[in-house]
Amino acid sequence: MRSSVLLAVLALAGVAAAQTPMIRAHLEPAENITVGEPVRLVITVLVPNYFTGSPEFPEFEIENAIVVLPQETPQNSSERVQGVTYAAITETYTLYPQQAGDFSLPSAQIDASYASTPPKRALAHLTLPLLTFRAEIPAAARGLEYFLPTTKLTIEQRWTPAPKALRVGDTIERTITVTAAKLQAMLIPPLQFKAADGIRIYEEEPKVHDEKSNRNEFLFGQRTQSAQYLMQKEGSYTLPAIELKWWNVSTRKVVKAVLPAVHFEVAENPAAATELAPEQPQPTMAQQPKVNLWARYKRQIWVGVLWLLGALLLLWLAWQWLPRLYRSVQHWRTQRRELEQTYFRAVVKACNENHPKEAYAALLLWLNRRSPGKSLDEIYASSQDADLMSEINRLGAILFTSTSGDAQWDGRRLADLLRVWRKQEAKTHDEKTALVALNP
């Protein structure tokens, strides 16, 4: 008797454990990872029965690595765990390690709303498993002074003016830009400007820039360097070629980007000879009468002051208003993109095209946008339409049971029923608002 009771208790405990929400995470690949190559982080959340809201997948950063957030719709699936049917939603991140060494994923929590005992729901707090990996520099590239892993690297230069018909005293500017896909600009090494005796080089402060898309996806890093060349002596000159070696992660080979050598002639210039000649001791001369500089340049000084004040005023106005204008435009774009109507159109489109997985994911996103914190329970609580409840339950059964397929589901009826429920809810909301206004 006691043994039977014990076995029953253990069986119930096993069923309860099997019905607990779970989270899984793994890396693809998990080992033999090369710096600069993509690593997929796959996270799957599993709940018994079905989801009543979309899980809140986190945004995070990893030092010395680029993290690309999921760009596609989460993948819905189902599986059997110890005899219990689980609904699953999977998200995939892409990681790009930028340096050799060990990497660890930060601790993160994912909240998932699900039907514990339909139609009642529960909220699970799941912690992302601790994952680590190591990125190495490939053997073929370990001899490089700098390791630049990327799928595409370009190096371009611009001369202002072109190095032609030069004379002593002339100055030309050279601007070199290096662009690398999926590589942070800070990792692009500085370039060396070299010239022979007779040319003086004045380098400017380099500029680095990381470009991201509107969806915050990292696109490329860019480094720009400029220098001015002052021609001090006549003669024939050749500026050496500039080379930059990088690792092509697609072909797994070292590639060389080259700016070829530049040759030009510098002619004499008697007018500039005195200015560029070395300073010589000046003989003592009779004292010249003092010149009143204010009287000579008064008009030019006043014009310069007015231009300076105008420029400062424009800079101040730009500093005050451009950030506000930018934030307003971004807010407008976000609101337009996040309109409840836009989400509802996605639900109707997926239903009319008979795609149950896309319809289910779009339905959860629309409900979360329409009433944050609420989900399918809101429809169960406010709708008296048995047909609507039946269609929603049928959709869940098609997705999370193995006996049904996509071809057995016609979503047009669900789309029509959702339109009716949405209009009824909007009408009820307007009537309540009117009553509040009449009875303050």
According to the 3-state scheme, what is the secondary structure of the chain?
CHHHHHHHHHHHHHHHHHCCCEEEEEEECCCCEECCCCEEEEEEEEEECCECCCCCCCCCCCCCEEEECCCCCCEEEEEEECCEEEEEEEEEEEEEECCCEEEECCCCEEEEEEEEECCEEEEEEEECCCCEEEEECCHHHCCCCCCCEECCEEEEEEEECCCCCEECCCEEEEEEEEEEECCCHHHCCCCCCCCCCCEEEEECCCEEEEEECCCCCEEEEEEEEEEEEEECCCEEEEECCEEEEEEECCCCEEEEEEECCEEEEEECCHHHHHHHCCCCCCCCCCCCCCCCHHHHHHHHHHHHHHHHHHHHHHHHHHHHHHHHHHHHHHHHHHHHHCCHHHHHHHHHHHHHCCCHHHHHHHHHHHHHHHCCCCCHHHHHHHCCCHHHHHHHHHHHHHHHCCCCCHHHCCCHHHHHHHHHHHHHHHHHHHHHHHHHHHCC
Identify the residue with better confidence: 74 or 403.
74
Assign 434 a pLDDT band (cuts: 50, 70, 90).
low
- What's the pTM? 0.48
Instruction: Kindly report, residue by residue over 344-395, the tens digit of the pLDDT.
Output: 899 899 999 988 988 888 888 888 877 776 666 666 666 667 888 888 888 8
- For the chain, domains (ranges, CATH) are 18-136 (2.60.40), 142-274 (2.60.120), 340-438 (no CATH)
pLDDT in tens, 294-325: 666 777 888 888 899 999 999 999 888 888 88
Higher pLDDT: 233 or 327? It is 233
- pLDDT of the residue at 276: 54
